[in-house]
Structure 1
Amino acid sequence: MAAHLLSYLLLALCTLSVSADVSVSIDCGSSDSYKDDNLIVWTGDDGYVQGGESHSVQSSNSISRVMDTLRVFTTQKKNCYHIDSVRQGRVLVRASFYYGNYDGKSSPPTFDLQFDGNHWATVQTSSTVYVYHEVTYVMKKDSISVCVAQTNPAQFPFISALEVRGLESYMYVNVDDNYPLFLRRRVAFGSNATIRFPDDPYDRLWTPEVISGGMIPVRSSALFSKGLTLADQPPPAVLKNAVTAITPNSTLQLSMGFPLVPAPVYVNGYFSEVAVLGPNQNRYFSIFKNNQSFSQPFSPPYENCTELYTSNLTASVNTTFSLVPTNFTTLPPLINAMEIFVIGDELTNGTNDQDVKGLASLQKAFGVLQGWSGDPCLPAPYTWDWINCSTDPVPRVTALFLGSFGLSGILPDFSTMDALQIIDLHNNSLQGPIPDFLGTLPQLKTLNLANNQFNGSMPASLSNKTGLNIVVTGNPNLCTSCPASPKNSTQSSSGCSKKDSNILAIMFGAIIPSFIMLQYLWETLL
């Protein structure tokens, strides 16, 4: 069967303390820290992002304190938040956006959203409501980056809130860990308000369903005193309500919210009886897909929960799901909660770690480069402005284009970037000797160091490297014809080292007196 009935797990219901080591709530555009009505502690975004401008939305459009401010990015094609020192594991990341006509233009922008070098979503913001996107995945590193990227001219990306929540390792394991889950819907049927923390210890957002003509909301009398839970841990709060069909013979049609085009999806349905049934009562129904049976008949338990899931399904907006009663049931079908995800493409491992290390050394040495964050090469259309990358599954950085970047000081060691073919550092104020490691880069074909303040002599590793085009004009203190200098030697204004000058002084000191003596003897003999 494509749908599977999961066995019950006798586990104590988890609380936020289980995942408290991964709980980050960032109020973007704000510098304040505060606790909201849901007991969630929010912090400003100063420590998580560089660049961007803080703005307040129009007060008449404000939804909540978190949505009062935003950070907008008007420079660079990709701008990122970086959350460091996160315990590796399964996480839920949620990004929220509320335009609120902050710029007075009544023109909500559209832009791309990314995480850890992976494409996440195209964000279409609204003038009247806030939108959010949520991804659940297993981290590959101990940090998280969330980026917004401009896709349309004059439409500047922004972000209002960013949240990270830790999940248990056994949650949502019915999909391979190498694939992310993008939330489409998470519904609490029969509820009249959104359910989140503290009712859900993992702070998932369970939104109410709009009651249609074929639904009847019902309230559960179950207390769930035994604390039973399933692997994906639906909180009891979402099981306290449900919807049923109108009559025992009625079918309950579900609104799935599948994407427009066919895509792989992961669907969880949660079913819990709402009352103690009498001896002559029963509730049996099956799940139908496109009007064909998709599961065996089952009966939801009281003060417990049945979870039915499917993770090997391709669905689109034309795919329908319904709950169909059996011929012998006395009660109509019901459902308490549902989660629908689109299964994303395989997670990337990101840019080669050695290249990331080398780029980090450049950013540490030159503050002007620190505005770039997130994965350097991925997603491919949004590489950093001053690098080129290969198209390998794990990209390599193949070029540095840092000409006229206002760099000054000593060039740091970035020898780990051994796939570099082009290094362009012209027209800066770089000082000191040309580093030896540049000549050891095996793929290097072009090195442009023109118009800097390098001194010393050309390293032998560069002088002897075949097939390398070197440009060093405009470095007045650099001697290109001198042999390689000792590590600590300095250059005179003529381009020759002090050691060479001393040798010349000794030579002339010996030759000139000898010449004078020979001239005296010659004149005496005459």
Structure 2
Amino acid sequence: MEKSILVMVLVLAVLPYQLQSYYTPYNRLSIDCGATNTWEDPLTNYWWRLDDEFIKSGQNILLSVTTNRLPLETLRYFPEGTKNCYNLPLEVQEKYLIRAGFYYGNYDNLSKPPTFNLEFDGNLWATVTTSLGTDPIYHEVIYITRKEYVSICITKTQQGQIPFISSLEAISIAIYDGVYRLMNNDTALYLERRTNYGANQTFPERFDTLAEYYNRFWKPEQLPNYQNPFNGIDSDFSSMAENSPPYKVLNSAIRAQNVSDSIFLPIDFHEKAPLSAYFVFYFYHVGPWPNLNNITKQIVYIDGIEKNATTVRPYEECVVVSVYPVNVTGTANVTISPAQGTTLPPTLNAMEVFTTIEVSSSKSDPRLSFCAFFYVLVCLSGVVVWFG
């Protein structure tokens, strides 16, 4: 009997090391859903992996159309079951940018793009509404992981409609503690928009890893009512300012026509219900370079309420203004106005807008997966049979 107890103790002592062998966390993970071959992204030099090691349900298909992004030319669709989930092995208690991509491409020849839900760790992430258009749909969330495996689920919500997914990415952004520093452990940040102001539509949304380590997409946008200055400096590095914005983004901007004018930006949100928003503004001087006595002093208002007053000086680092929380319902109106003493018009280089998702806490031990539980049963069964 004593020998039996001793063996059981040894089995349980070794068990954590056995469980650890099943868990290999990724700091950066790119999954080409539905693909049959891995491939290296020439822009980032990271490899896109197959998805069959992260999910066992669903069917793969190759689209009959070509796009400017290879991950969108295959997809995995889910004709069976209400909920189908990917399990991503990620570092615990780290901040990740997680992005899911969807491109219908009329893969089923039915011309009926589906609508379905996207979830992470049991939390509703987004309602995905696909279309017959040629532009992909991306949903992005910034999330502090709770356990070793993050569950990304595609959930059927409409009878007769089949959900699918084209790509799935997870990038750790925990290198610098100050990245999106105002978010807390109880919420995730859902991306509403990330805009590269002053850049025209021919400017890329994606950059190489040296310029944009976090692989964020920055949508270029010029506004005809404002000046759209562009430095023309092609820097391959990111700024040392908060959130590490790429200089490729900071080198363009929108600027008010006159020193006494303001910038007005209406921001639409994905739903009309009351939401809590997180704004990030990026200010950096774009040429022509004035003398050192010329500065931009400006005040940021959201829905008429002053949120920040800042000064932007030529030849100095980017100024980043983060504002959270901001209560919004449907639309928010951003105004950037000149402050007393400014000698240059208000300017905005880039802006990110998020809304928060309340994150439910998991009560289960993340280490005790089904495989681990099965392993325990096998070990204990062997002990019982051995010792009778």
Give TM-score, length-normalised by structure 1: 0.61
Q: Give percent identity, aligned residues only.
A: 29
Q: How far 1:361 sits from its partner (Å)?
A: 6.0
C-alpha change, 1:84 and 1:299, in structure 2 (3 Å) is closer
What do residues 386-414 of structure 1 show as CA deviations (whole Å, max 9, x unaligned)? xxxxxxxxxxxxxxxxxxxxxxxxx9589
Contact kept, 8 Å, 2:57 with 2:78, in 1: the verdict is yes
Which residue of 142, 153, 161 corresponds with 2:167? 161
Which residue of 214, 223, 229 corresponds with 2:225? 214
Counterpart check, 1:309 vs 2:347: no
C-alpha change, 1:117 and 1:143, in structure 2 (3 Å) is same
Q: How far 1:289 sits from its partner (Å)?
A: 2.2
Q: How far 1:358 sits from its partner (Å)?
A: 7.3
| Cross-structure match for 1:8 | none
Counterpart check, 1:67 vs 2:79: no
Partner of 2:258, secondary structure, is coil
Counterpart check, 1:264 vs 2:283: no
Contact kept, 8 Å, 1:215 with 1:245, in 2: the verdict is yes
Q: How far 1:45 sits from its partner (Å)?
A: 1.2
Aligned pairs for 1:477-488 within 5 A: none
Aligned pairs for 1:380-399 within 5 A: none
Higher relative contact order (CA 8 A, sep 6+): 2
Which residue of 315, 335, 339 corresponds with 1:326? 339
Partner of 2:187, secondary structure, is coil
Counterpart check, 1:171 vs 2:173: no
Counterpart check, 1:149 vs 2:155: yes
Instruction: Kindly name which structure, 1 or 2, has the bigger radius of gyration based on alpha carbons.
Output: 1
Please, which runs of 5 or more residues in structure 2 have no aligned partner?
1-24
Partner of 1:296, secondary structure, is strand
| Structure with greater strand percent | 2
State the superposition RMSD in angstroms: 3.0
Partner of 2:331, secondary structure, is coil
Q: Match for 1:312: what amino acid?
A: P
Q: How far 1:359 sits from its partner (Å)?
A: 4.6
Contact kept, 8 Å, 2:299 with 2:337, in 1: the verdict is yes
Partner of 1:67, secondary structure, is helix
C-alpha change, 1:64 and 1:249, in structure 2 (3 Å) is same
Q: How far 1:181 sits from its partner (Å)?
A: 0.7
Aligned pairs for 1:192-271 within 5 A: 192-198=203-209, 199-209=211-221, 211-220=222-231, 229-259=240-270, 260-271=272-283
Give TM-score, length-normalised by structure 2: 0.81
What do residues 275-333 of structure 1 show as CA deviations (whole Å, max 9, x unaligned)? 33226643222112223433225334534111111112111333201111235433221
Aligned pairs for 1:97-496 within 5 A: 97-128=102-133, 129-168=135-174, 169-191=177-199, 192-198=203-209, 199-209=211-221, 211-220=222-231, 229-259=240-270, 260-275=272-287, 276-278=289-291, 281-326=294-339, 328-345=341-358, 347-353=359-365, 357=368, 359-360=370-371
What do residues 460-492 of structure 1 show as CA deviations (whole Å, max 9, x unaligned)? xxxxxxxxxxxxxxxxxxxxxxxxxxx96xxxx
Which residue of 38, 41, 50 corresponds with 1:44? 50
Q: How far 1:177 sits from its partner (Å)?
A: 2.0
- In 1, the alpha carbon distance for the partners of 2:237 and 2:107 equals 49
| Cross-structure match for 1:523 | none
- In 1, the alpha carbon distance for the partners of 2:311 and 2:120 equals 39
Please, which runs of 5 or more residues in structure 1 have no aligned partner?
1-19, 366-410, 416-431, 437-486, 489-526
Partner of 1:217, secondary structure, is coil
- In 1, the alpha carbon distance for the partners of 2:369 and 2:217 equals 40
C-alpha change, 1:280 and 1:22, in structure 2 (3 Å) is closer
Partner of 1:163, secondary structure, is strand
C-alpha change, 1:136 and 1:300, in structure 2 (3 Å) is farther
Aligned residues: 350
- In 2, the alpha carbon distance for the partners of 1:88 and 1:294 equals 30
Q: Match for 2:207: what amino acid?
A: R
